[in-house]
Structure 1
Amino acid sequence: MTKDCFKMIMKILNTIRTIIYINLNYCDISQIDGSMIINSLKENQLLRVLDISKNKIGDAGALALAELLNILNSLMEVNMIGNEITSKAGSEIGKILKTNRTLINIDLTYNKIDDDGILIFADLLKITIILKIFNLSRNCFTDKSAIALIAALKENNSIIYLDISINDITDDVVLVQNIERKMSIKKEQNVEEENVEEQNAEKANVESR
């Protein structure tokens, strides 16, 4: 990203605090510039979607994002595909998301998060009731983390899509199929529960007449 382009973006973000959707993918954003851009969003309480994929914001930018998620109560989707993020920043994002109440979709595909970071995400899956879509494809974690993630799903009622494909996992396809089967069963159970609730509500209305 050229200096002029960076200055223009910063001017816009520091002036307009009502942006809902920001797309900065493929902008060759460095760690320093990425951190400054993300930090400038702290006053924007309307931001819903942030796409900063395919850049080079690294751990510095990702740590700034973790701080942003801790402050901003509006973000619902974050795309950080291909940003050279490691477990150092990944762990912090996982910790922050444990108390976040708005983010439903985060994509961390094509980064460098290993077992240390993914195990934090496994802990997150045990308690989150907001997050629905989580993409961890093409990182560098092993069976240890994959098994922990799958086990965490047993305690989770919000996740509808989790992608752990193309990592250092043996029997990769089997693991992904297990996740998909788990999701399918959970969806069916949720639908059945909703149908039962609707039937009970209708019955109550009839009896009250």
Structure 2
Amino acid sequence: ALLTDLPEGELGRLAKALKDYRKLKVLRLINIEVGEAEAEEFCKALGLNDTITKLEIKALADALKCNCTVAHIDLSNNWIGAEGAKAFADALKSNCTVTDVNLYGNWIGVEGGKALPDAVESNRTVTVKLGSFQLLGGKGAKDVEESWEHFEDATKSQAWTGKVRIKGLASQLTTNSGTTHLNLGFQHITDEDCQALADALKSNRTVIRIDLHYNCIGDEGAKALADALKSNCTVTHVNLCDNRIGGEGALADALKSNKTVTDINLFHNEIGDEGAKALADALKSNCIATHVNLGSNDIGVEGAKALADALKSNRTVTHVDLPHNKIGNQGAKALADALKSNCTVIYVNLCDNRIGDEGAKALADALKSNKTVTKINLDDNKIGDQGAKAMEDVQKFNHV
């Protein structure tokens, strides 16, 4: 569909009607008048649309040049095209209120790929969420790499896909003082890539969130990141779920000295009992971290006992996330004993942990005196009638 010369107000009407056009795949907007409120409304409508595959939106970019209120723009998984990317890049150079632009999963073309880095370099307030960009055809891809070393060419069956080039990004991080959130999931990041990022984080003072989920990071990459976090004083959230991190790379050393990280997600790695023990030792002295997710990490009784011992003295951790491990009754008993004296934990997730009646009864007994835990998850365990009754009875003493 081609819409041209629309007066102000029409884009808002289109946003409301977009959900009804189930067969609309291509949308071009040329020379339209748009107010800030309807531009924001249209962006939200696009986020809910799953049929449009190609979108030319130069008009929205033009509106951003004079807009002074819109802060967040999410156009992920659309085909905004090279012209759309160039228009947005041009708008971002003069806009000083937009802080977050999500162009993940877009076709931006070679020209769009060359225009965006200039905008990021000159705009010191915006965070561009990086992801899988597509550069249709291989010709000109080298120019993109020269203008912004964020892209690495990789031949695919139908198109050229731009994978984030980490070393180039790391170089940008040393000069770009506006980036606050690194969203680099699903990027095949290796230990070597992680080392480059870690080196940049040692001097970077703006990034507060690091999301590296679903990559290929092992112990060496995690160690490099941990080393960077020892001196970094701005990062608060680190997501490393679904990588290949073992016991040696569990970030324990960083937690002993870091004073800003509050949330670490290590779900679905390979840290095992040794990694859990190292983290537990770090938590004894750490007084900042509140969330540590160790789900699906092959943690057994020994790891659970070590974590339980740490919780007896730790006064900051509020969420204990240990789902899909194998702590069993003995591990549950150890955690129950810790909860009798701990007064900060509010959430405990022990689902799928081979816990039976014995472990459930121990936890129930602990909750009779513990007045801070508000939720405990024991789904998918081996708890029978006795354990279930014990947990049911504890509600008379506790508001779990």
Which category of TM-score, normalised to the shorter sequence, fits these structures?
0.7 to 0.9
Matched, 1:54 2:268: yes
2:186 counterpart residue number: none
Question: Is 1:19–1:44's contact at 8 Å kept on the other side of the alignment?
Answer: no
- Paired with 1:5 and 1:42, the residues of 2 have a C-alpha distance of 25
1:119 counterpart residue number: 333
Question: Is 2:360–2:383's contact at 8 Å kept on the other side of the alignment?
Answer: yes
Matched, 1:7 2:223: no
Q: TM-score, normalised by structure 1?
A: 0.79
Within 5 Å, give how 1:31-42 maps onto structure 2. Answer: 31-34=247-250, 37-42=251-256
What SS class does the counterpart of residue 369 from structure 2 fall into?
A: coil
- Paired with 2:375 and 2:381, the residues of 1 have a C-alpha distance of 17
By how many angstroms is 1:172 displaced?
A: 8.7
- Paired with 1:93 and 1:33, the residues of 2 have a C-alpha distance of 17
Q: 1:119–1:173: structure 2 CA closer, same or farther, 3 Å change rule?
A: closer
CA RMSD of aligned residues (A): 2.4
Give the strand-richer structure, 1 or 2.
2
1:90 counterpart residue number: 304
2:239 counterpart residue number: 23
By how many angstroms is 1:175 displaced?
A: 4.8
- Paired with 2:272 and 2:256, the residues of 1 have a C-alpha distance of 19
Choose 1 or 2 for highest CA Rg. 2
Query: Which amino acid counterpart does residue 3 of structure 1 have in structure 2?
Result: D
Q: 1:168–1:186: structure 2 CA closer, same or farther, 3 Å change rule?
A: closer
Question: Is 1:74–1:102's contact at 8 Å kept on the other side of the alignment?
Answer: yes
- Paired with 2:240 and 2:263, the residues of 1 have a C-alpha distance of 11
By how many angstroms is 1:31 displaced?
A: 2.3
CA displacement, residues 48-107 of structure 1 (integer Å, 9 cap, x when unaligned): 111111111111111111011111111111111100001111101101101111111110
Question: Is 2:340–2:370's contact at 8 Å kept on the other side of the alignment?
Answer: yes
- Paired with 2:389 and 2:395, the residues of 1 have a C-alpha distance of 11
Q: 1:26–1:170: structure 2 CA closer, same or farther, 3 Å change rule?
A: same
- Paired with 1:172 and 1:17, the residues of 2 have a C-alpha distance of 49
Q: Which has the higher contact order (CA 8 A, sep 6+)?
A: 1
**Consecutive unaligned residues in structure 2, runs of 5 or more:** 1-188, 199-223
1:45 counterpart residue number: 259
Question: Is 1:31–1:56's contact at 8 Å kept on the other side of the alignment?
Answer: yes
2:321 counterpart residue number: 107
Work out the percentage of aligned pairs sharing the same amino acid.
28
Give the helix-richer structure, 1 or 2.
1
Q: 1:52–1:127: structure 2 CA closer, same or farther, 3 Å change rule?
A: same
